[in-house]
Chains A and B, each alone.
Chain A
Amino acid sequence: MKLTDQSSQQYRRLWWFASRGLAAVAAVLLIAAVIGAPSGLQNLFNGLAIGGVYAIFALGYTLIFSILRIINFAHGAIFTLGAYFTYFLTGAAVGFNGLLANQKLPFGLPFPLAMIGGGILAGLCGIFIERVAFRPLRNKGADPLLTLVSSLGVAVAIVNIIQLLVGAEIYSYPRNPFGEMPAALNLGNFGGLTARPIIIRTIQVIIFGVSMVTVVLLTYFINGTKTGKALRAVAEDATTSSLLGINTNRLILITFFLSGLVGGIAGTLVGLSVNVSGPYFGINFGLKGLAVIVLGGLGDIPGAVVGGLVIGVAESFVPSEYVAYKEAIAFAVLFVVLLLRPQGLLGRVVVQKV
């Protein structure tokens, strides 16, 4: 029984326009401030590059959360795995430590293919995690908290398997992975708009481009394909969807694959930017991803993208004398958002039923 009320609907529409309008004004003011500030545009570009990676990484959390209402704490480990898989698929050798010391694949893929391959392998690991850590507990009807712990257990195992096999050393990808390119692009000073010329590392452009392509492909998959629509139906209401004949378990597997895929690609992209710094590579990133999804609203896909970009840009605007505190920005944002707007930036309030 749903009685609609003319005035309240009008009020809500008004509020919708007003809030979007305010957001737009705020955005314009922000952009003006950014451009006006010394090295503002430079920071903005830097922030967008890393923010894009945050976004796709957080999408991996969000996809699973939207279906299962559970946070997959092994997602950081998947991120690490993706970075390592890409490294080995390029044909590079293992370092001097670990059981696989000095081993390498008999072939080497060009970097873009290796990156996709690394993502796919990470996605397969996602499926594996779903089968061993999530599905058994789900079938038993266990408390979601237990699933969280079991995914943590799997993450601990994965991190230590990596350490056992390939050691804890730093791995770096080949130079110029995308062929000969200038190291940086000089965008000039926009006709005097900025004080100094804007210089962007080529790698940042690539990272941002790859993340955005990933976002677009994923959005297309979710909104434009039959499987994607089924996925959204399950996210909306799992019970009804399974009554309608949607194979929930298969969709959950697909979700874990996609989540692993974007997580693995995110790992590779960060590895491109700062090297793969050992088996614990993904832990801090994993935590930061949590901040992103809360900012965007748990389970909200556009929210994860916006949240990632916002946190990336916010970090890049930390003044250089406080750069040591940069790592805390995401968590400060997380804390404040939780206290003020727990439903996330784009989310709506859900009335709690007594």
Chain B
Amino acid sequence: MEVFLSSYGAAIVQMALAGVLALSLYLPLMAGQLSLASPGFYAVGGYTAALLSTTVFTGYANGSYPIPLIVVEMVIAGGVSALFALIIGIPSLRLRGIYLALATIAFIEILRVFALNQPWLGGAVGIYNIPQPFFSATRIEYLLLALPLLFGAMFFVARLERSRVGRAFIALREDELAASAMGVRPTYYKVLAFTLGAVLAGMAGALNAHILNTWNARQGTFDLSILILAYVLVGGSRTFLGPVIGGAFLVALPEIILREIAGAPGLNPVIATFLRDGRLILFGVLIAVSVFFFPYGLITPELFKRRRKKPEKVTVEAAKPTPNVRGGNL
């Protein structure tokens, strides 16, 4: 157990955070909006927490930073991210499909260059010595914060899907015009979904700023956008469990390849080297392959329904392959 935690502690915490980030992209997608802005809000959240804990809530010895203060930071970070989301979202959510995705890429890049050049954000070095509430090297204690955040986010999204607002989101995803003909205000609900996603990303960023101990402009860049998108699409974009499992799976995968498979005794040293140094190659290939073999993601709503009742009657219409994501006209 000790060994397991020391090698996987940090990874398990990151698996939970990946789930939260994946849900932050899933929320706008629920309303039919392909937004790649989550890393931007994640960065905003991280900077918020880093600033608060190093300049406002000072005076705590390292290792004894109060956990409630981190919760307070997470709430504030969520609020700041929501504010950014409103400013960005209201003008840009008129855009559809790939155009929205490109606008959100522009947002994260502008944010990155801005952060890189602001002395009060630490410039290129960033903000460091962010105080820790725990002494441990494994970081596993952070699960005390990361798991409630993940489960809270899962509860939130799961309940939302079965509520009036969630149904309005899904109606927009399915057919924006028909939804508006039924009285759903498209812009309002798109901005709402975008903002809710931003709050989740901001909170994840705030927590990760403490976990990583330092925060800079390399956090929350375009690389993370594509990674989060992969979490959602590999996991499945039609139920909230898909993104969570996709995130956990894709964070765990390189770690498992590195520590278990490449480290297995008796393995050919050339293969072991390849697995260790080239694990990201496998990672890329697996993403491409999984999209081909699991176009609806690993987790689909049908997975749960089949067990409960007999399959729905299939008509010609249903037999046609239907896209599992309506990101718009890409």
* Contact, chains A and B (beta carbon distance below 8 A): yes
What is the CB-to-nearest-CB distance from A237 to chain B, in angstroms, rounded to a whole number? Answer: 16
Q: Can you list 7 contacts pairing A with B, beta carbon distance less than 8 Å?
A: A73-B226, A142-B291, A328-B113, A334-B106, A335-B107, A335-B110, A339-B94
Whether A331 lies near B110 (C-beta < 8 A) is yes
Question: Is B222 in contact with A140, judged by CB distance below 8 angstroms?
Answer: no
Q: Which residues of A contact B103 (CB under 8 A)?
A: 334-335, 338-339
How far does the alpha carbon of A150 sit from the alpha carbon of B327 in the complex, in Å?
Answer: 15
Q: Which one, A144, A155, A342, contacts B284 given CB within 8 A?
A: A155
Q: Which of B269-294 contact A (CB under 8 A)?
A: 274, 277-278, 280-281, 283-289, 291-292
Q: Which residues of A contact B117 (CB under 8 A)?
A: 324-325
Asked if A149 and B229 sit within 8 Å, CB to CB, the answer is yes
B178 to chain A, nearest CB (A): 11
Interface residues of B in 176-211 (CB under 8 A from A): 177
User: Which secondary structure dominates where chain A touches chain B?
Assistant: helix
Residues of B within 8 A of A153 (CB): 230, 284-289, 291
Interface segment, A254-262, A287-295, A301-309?
A: A287-295
Residues of B with C-beta under 8 A to A243:
none
Interface residue? A154 (CB, 8 A): yes
Encoded as 1 (CB less than 8 Å from any B CB) or 0, chain A from 305 to 342 comes to 00000000000000000001101100110110011001
Q: Kindly list chain B residues whose C-beta atoms are within 8 Å of the C-beta of A156.
A: 226, 280-281, 283-284, 287
Q: Which of A49-57, A129-137, A220-228, A266-274 contacts B (4 or more CB under 8 A)?
A: A129-137
State the Cβ distance, A78 to closest chain B Cβ, in Å. 14
* Chain B residue, CB-CB nearest to A144: B330
Residues of A within 8 A of B98 (CB): 71, 298
Q: How far is the CB of A261 from chain B (nearest CB, A)?
A: 23
Q: What count of chain B residues pass the 8 Å CB interface test?
A: 49
A328 to B329: give the CA distance in the assembly, Å. Answer: 27
Q: Does B92 contact A (CB under 8 A)?
A: yes
- A145, B330: Cβ atoms under 8 Å? yes
A151-B288, A154-B285, A328-B113 are known; give 10 further A-B pairs, CB within 8 A.
A144-B329, A145-B233, A145-B330, A147-B330, A149-B230, A157-B280, A291-B106, A331-B106, A335-B110, A338-B95
Count of A-B contacts with CB under 8 A? 155
Given A145-B34, A145-B330, A338-B92, A161 contacting B230 (CB threshold 8 A): no
Q: A290-B102, A324-B117, A327-B113 are in contact. Are A143 and B295 (CB under 8 A)?
A: yes
* Residue B223 CB within 8 A of the other chain: yes
**Residue B114 interfacial (CB < 8 Å):** yes
**Contacting residue for B226 out of A141, A152, A290, CB 8 A:** A152
Residue A148 is within 8 A (CB to CB) of chain B in the complex: yes
Q: Does A277 contact B (CB under 8 A)?
A: no
Q: Please list the residues of chain B having a beta carbon within 8 angstroms of any beta carbon in chain A.
A: 34, 91-92, 94-95, 98-99, 102-103, 105-107, 109-110, 113-114, 116-117, 177, 222-223, 226, 229-230, 233-234, 274, 277-278, 280-281, 283-289, 291-292, 295, 321, 323-327, 329-330
Q: Contact between A150 and B177 (Cβ–Cβ < 8 Å)?
A: no
A136 to chain B, nearest CB (A): 6
Q: Give the most central of A70, A332, A338: most B CB within 10 Å.
A: A338
Give chain A interface residues in 120-140, CB to chain B under 8 Å: 132-133, 136-137, 140
What is the minimal beta-carbon distance from A165 to any residue of chain B, in angstroms?
Answer: 9
Is there a chain B Cβ closer than 8 Å to A160's Cβ?
A: yes
Contact A142 B295 (CB under 8 A): yes
A287 touches B105 (CB 8 A): yes
Is A157 in contact with B281, judged by CB distance below 8 angstroms? Answer: yes
**In the bound complex, how far is the Cα of B284 from the Cα of A133, in angstroms?**
11
